[in-house]
Structure 1
């Protein structure tokens, strides 16, 4: 029961992170309310990652690796929590 709750909470947060990344591609950061609401949940984690891991340059654009690193970190954390909550058989 608790393991299912943890799994669903991580899945919901990851889905929101995906939505935030996609909104970043298409919606203006200042004008759009959905993007601003999602930023409240994800920028506190993405900001420190961005400051420590600079993205590679691709011409004039900089590729931001922070969402990918956050996805990986969430997967590791979820795996650790679920391994504690669900003992091996």
Structure 2
């Protein structure tokens, strides 16, 4: 499965949220933390952005979205444990 990394401008365009709102949501546990791509570059896996947007569209409450964020971030680290 090919996965893309979305940089901040693409995440802003996809979500309709501003930079400050995205970082506020990260602080509140309502958005996944970014992935480091280099010394000064970050991004978010496209599947995580899609899952978070689908949860918002479906009307999930903040508690459910926080649980989803935890699940998505755990999936990142467990994806390569078997390699």
Pick the structure with more strand per residue.
2
- TM category (shorter chain) comes to 0.3 to 0.5
Structure 1 or 2, whichever has the larger Rg, is 1
Pick the structure with more helix per residue.
1
TM-score using structure 1 length: 0.34
TM-score using structure 2 length: 0.36
